[in-house]
Amino acid sequence: MRRALVIATAVAGVVLGLVPDAIVRAQAPLKGTLNVCHAGSLLAAFTQVEAAFAKQHPEVMIVDASGGSVDLGRRLAAGTLACDVYAPADHMVIDVLLKPAHLADFTIVFAKGRMVLAYMASDSKAGVLPVTGAFDPPVSVPAVAGGWQDTLTAAGVRISGGHPFLDPGGYRAHMIFELAQSHLRIPGLYNALLQHYQVTPADPGGVAPALGREFNFQFTYEHSAAAAAKRDGQYRYATLPEEIDLSGARGRQYNSSVTIPGLGTPFAAAGAVIAATAVEWGLTIPANASNRVAAIAFVGALLDAGGRDALTANGPAPIVPARATRADYSRIPETLKALVAAR
């Protein structure tokens, strides 16, 4: 989805009131078009940051593109999508796809979350899901209880999510299937869960399939689920065991991976292996960015206090300070290094 960021005065007053002017600091006036490409799961937070940035830099036109992170990366590589800032839902996408193709020099990891299981209270197939605790977020969120996998593999149940070749949310669901099989020690569980998985079309060509109607369950990011629950009183979600929720709790490592097709461009590898890691969002300024100066200023705004506030308000949770490997840190623009820790 591409959209020029247009801010009406009345709307801007509401949105911008949430973000301090300190979010957007720059040393010189900025101009031109700034193409910001990001995961759909970052839409609410990035909309807020973009609005504040546009107010501070009225001569910069922000063009926002959101969607499946791998899809955006492939379009960037093919030259069909301009990205001055690229922020995927899995920082591994930069490391495994963009860096080997010389499309990125560094990765900054700036936000974190975990996967939860979403469903609708009005759905009879989901209503039998065993959970412990009351649903009263953020005070109380139930956890799946023993036998939860039986509900998901019952006859007629559908689990839906993004295509694993296009969207980290999609391949993380497949990782959860594999991790659940190992954690619960149930041979064949991965296959049984996979048989109930259906892909939600990225372009439905009409009314998109809906939770509780066309499908019964979805593995999704907790902040996305929390926002959906605020909009719909029937929306529910439950936490998963930390052995499979990809939260990285207590430094947990995950023995799972997926292999996806490569970028499809000359000299790029035919495929890429993405290991299961904690749910963490990353960003980079692509090597072919056309407005690098504005991109650096935007990333600074995102990593600074105002951007962190936007992430805290909308999710995912900011990592403070953001981090990069020591090798990548040396390649980060100098003006951003104060906002990033080398680890």
All domains of the chain in start order, with CATH: 2-111+280-342 (3.40.190.10), 115-246 (3.40.190.10)
DSSP 62: E
Alpha-carbon distance values, 52 to 17, 56, 108, 275, 281 (Å): 9, 6, 22, 35, 21
The SS3 call for residue 287 is coil
Q: What are phi and psi of 309, to 5 degrees?
A: -65, -40
pTM, entire model: 0.91
* pLDDT at position 332: 98
* pLDDT at position 40: 97
Instruction: Using 70 as the pLDDT threshold, list the residues of the chain that sit under it.
Output: 1-28
